[in-house]
Structures are given as C-alpha cells and as structure tokens.
Structure 1
Amino acid sequence: MTVEQWGIRVPVRQGELTRQALIGEGALDVTLKVLHDGDELVFPVLEEREGATRYEFAEQPGRTELSRHEQVGGIAIMQENDSKGAALILASRPSLHTVLFPTSEVSGKYRTRGYAVLAGMPVTRTEVVEHGHRFVVDLAGAYFSARLSTERQRIFAQVQEHELVLDMFAGVGPFAITLAPRAALVVAVDLNPQAALLMIENIERNRVQNVLPLLADARRLERILPWKFDRIVMNLPLAGTAFLPEAFRLVRPGGTIHFYSLVSAEGEHLDRIRELGGASVTERVVRSYSPGQWHAVYDVVVTG
C-alpha cells in the first residue's frame, strides 16, 4: 500500500547526513519507506518544508504510527497532551529519555516556554548532535530550534574566511558555533542569563576559540561594541523587527543581514528593510509555523 506524503530529494551521498538531520528535527516520517530513484533518495517528512514535493511512499511494515512530535536530542516534544501516545514514542526510540508537551507559547524577554513531562525522565535538558557539533540545551530555560539546522548550514556555506560576524540573539550558541570555523570572530549576544551560561558550556564543549559570548540587550550593542560587522544573524522571529535599525547601524556597507521573522504575507517586511538601506533582499520560507503563518528569512545585502 502506498501513501502520499511530503518528501525531500537528495543525492545518495548526502543520504545518511540528511537522515540524521531529519531524525534530529523529529521531521522524518518513520512509518514510510525512503524512495530510491537512481542516484537520489527521497525522504518522507511529516510536514511541508522548503524544497518538499508530494510523493507516493510505501508504508513501513510493522511500524506503529506515532503521534506528531519534534525530536530535540533525547527529548520528544508532542503537539498533543497524550500520555499514551507519549509512551509509544518513548518505547519506539531508544535514543529518547523524555517526552514533553508545551504548556505555553514561546514568550517573555527570555523567549522561554513551559513544559509538562508526559513520559520518561522529568528533565528538560538534553544534548543535540548537529553536523559534528554538540549543543547542550535546556528547553525550559533557553530557546532552541532543531528545525533551523539546515539554515545554519546554509549560512555557514556563505561565510567568507575571516569575516566578523554578529549573532544578535544567540541563545545557547548554535549559529555562532556553526559559523565560527570560517569567521575571524563571532560575537554572540543574548539577554537570557541561562542561555548565556549554556552558550559558554557549548563553546567549551566544541573547543571553539573565536566566539565571544556577551550577556547584553541587543538594543545597546552600538554603545558596547567597537566594530562594524560583515554578517549579522537575527533569529528572533516574534520580535526581531524592532531590532532592525540596530542591525543596520552595526553592519558594514556591503555586509549581509539574515533576518528571521514569522510572517503571514509574502514581502511583509520588504518596505521597512528597503527604507533602512537594504540594497538587495531575498525572501525565503524556512518552514510552516501555523495555518496562514510561516517562518521566513530575509537575506539582506546592505547599501554599499
């Protein structure tokens, strides 16, 4: 029996890395078989995403259909408050130690949310392995999205040797640590003390020597930092628009800003970006977020 589902196509040589990344995100549909098409593979994913197309997949024999969830390291985050479904998820994956259900939205100046433990160990701390890096996260204490793994690699591919990079909302450091191997220096800023402590732990864990962690309010960075930056990452989807003027003051002429936002219309922020000095703007959908709303990134080259 076949089932129509979203799928992403990759070369066979990238298959294992892609599979691991999708498992880490909790995005791989494990009830369906991977398609083999010549020198390419098609992985079934649980929801629409950039580059995904509908395909016919064969069902995976003997696999119980699991409730929708996102996997972050050893923790699964469910979309429903379903203890029986949580027990099935925990039993299906030996790598999991905890299943959580969010009891609130991401909110507050520290971008945190509450969780209830549905199964497993009563913890919100775990380790995430992503493209050779290891990140300790505490989901209740600091914001982290495994679904941005592909974005981190996309921006890493754009970083030129010896760039000066600013991560304005660094969280536990995944963007900063990922970009560090090519940059001269990455200044990684966050307002949340717990995020900053976890970032320092992750810098040490990954043996990175050119990331400068900074506990600060992004609105005051121009007064604190003596540099203009070649590249700025702004991952604050719910409120980043308010910080755009600060980013434009901190970027050098000809530099690039990667601005992430939740939007409900194409080109929602284009007028504001161009008003501030965006010479070239490319808008991309990162992932769907809710009906009528999606997570977008604006890659902005600033007026030279």
Structure 2
Amino acid sequence: MKNFDYIRATSVDSAVATVSEPDAVFLAGGTTLLDLLKLDVMRPALVVDIHKLRLNQIEPLRDGGVRIGAMVTNTDLAFNDYIRAHYPVLSQALRSGASTQLRNKATTAGNIMQRVRCGYFRDGISPCNKRNPGSGCAAIGGQNRNVHAVLGGSEHCIAAHPSDMCVAMAAIGATIHVQGPVGRRDIDFGEFHLLPGDTPWREHSLQRGEMITHVTLNAPMHGGRSAYLKLRDRASYQFALASCAAIVALDGGRIRDARIVLGGVATKPWRALEAEDALKGQVATASTFARAAALALRDARSYGQNGFKIGLGQQAVVRNLTSLVA
C-alpha cells in the first residue's frame, strides 16, 4: 500500500478545495475505499476525511420528497420512520445489502460512489480497462458468473454495478446535489452513473474536486406500492445475481403507472422503460408481467457463465410485481 497524507476537513468548502489537488480522494464510510487502498488498487496521495461535516440529516420536504445528507449511514436511512413509511423499496434495498456492521459505517454518498466488485479489477494484476486503460477485460471469456453484467456492457468492460440502494433510488427518482470548485450543481440520478462504452474508467459524471453533499428523492408515486427483491446465492452478505426495484400504482385491476429498475445484471442501475410502458394500462396478470420481464431483458447478452442472469432477471421482475399486486 502506498503512503498517503491524511487531512480531516472542517467544512464543505475546505474539503472541496483540498480534494481538487491531483490524486486526492474523499473518505466517508471507507467501506470501499479502505479495501481498495489495502489491495493497492487505488493509490491516492491525499485522503480527505469528511466525517466531521454536518451532512447526516434526513429531512422530509414540503413537496413530499425527502433530503438525505451525504453522510447518512445506510442503517440510519434504512430504519428512518419516514423512509420506511413512504419509500419501502429503499428501506428494503438497504437492509438487503452487506452486513449490519458495514451498513453502520457505509454512507449514502459512498454507496452511490462505490466501485465494482469484479475480481479482475480488484486483484491488481489482471487485464482491466477500468483499472489500467487499454489493458483489456479479463472478465470477457473469463470467470464472469457472479458480478458481471448482461446489460449495458461493452467490449471494454462488463462489470456489474454493485449497489442495492442505487437500484431503489433509480426507481423512485432522485437528484444528486454536488459542490465543486466552480460552485454547486444538480445531477439527475439516472444520468449520474455512466455506461462503460470505450471509457470504462469513467464511472460517474462528477468532475474533479466535486463532492456529493446530499440527495433529494422525488415524492412517492401517488397510490404506489413499492418493493425490492434481491436474488443471490445466499441470504446475507452477498451481492445480487439479479434484483428488481418495482413501484406500481393500480386503478382497479389495471396498472396506472409503474417503475422497474434492475440490479445485479447491468453495468449501472438499469431502468426498464419499455417494460414500464408495456405495463401501463394493462390488467395486472401473470402474462402481463411476463411480457414486461421479457422486454426488460430483451437486449441482454450472455458472456458465458453469466448467461443464466437473463432468465433470473426476468424472474425477479415477475416475482416482485406479482407480490406487489397480490
């Protein structure tokens, strides 16, 4: 592990000014950063600790939405009374992730920014365009069963996005608020995470020196029911093989509105817009859900061992929708 300097920020402005220096990073919960430092995958010259900044509030808004500070822990967010009552899909997603100890440390902004869990990225020696641009992608044609995508990949990278929380937030609709050297700006949640394309080392739309200060969730869908379903090899401390965040509003037996976002199968939280359109106005039946699930995975591509995720992703959609309308 490379030696680095450490600074504890006393304000957002000082944190932003300091991390604007080359090879500087923010330290929030540290549940990803510290792992990658020890693995010698990330080698910052300076670590800026933002623990002391007052960014740990959860505040309901007048429009029915909610403002979530960047340093709110996953545990506090998951068990917040307002979140559990109005955004059950988010509470469920958070509680399905990692372990109790990690949820107690992991933060909202850190969860949004977490790096992929591809073993070739983390081993420090295999060809990996994300870690070493131009070196290739060992996962294509290699071991790619668990944490590799069938949606949104490219010839340069097929690492799946690891977050459960982000899948739920993408379904709810959210805005990420950042502060940087040139001021503040807002980023739509759906545009924050980037597809790998031919630049897989660019994982998000933050600019150098920008820091997430808070996230605002849209008001809940009127009359909506929501849930998160995570399918994995074991019941705890496991990343999703396939997951589905679903929000559905019914008028009688017909679906008035719907949101479907997939996790575990894509290189970013994957909103299935065609599947949503196919659900609207339809009777909530098994055949309706099956058609929507097929559309959600229509463009999926198997890379060998991970091909089973196509069918599993469809199961996640059908099972979640079926439970919601039961």
Task: Indicate whether the TM-score tops 0.5.
Answer: no
* TM class, shorter-length: under 0.3
Structure holding more strand per residue: 1
Higher relative CO (Cα under 8 Å, sequence separation at least 6) belongs to 2
The TM-score, its normalising length taken from structure 2, stands at: 0.24
After TM superposition, the score normalised by the length of structure 1 is: 0.26
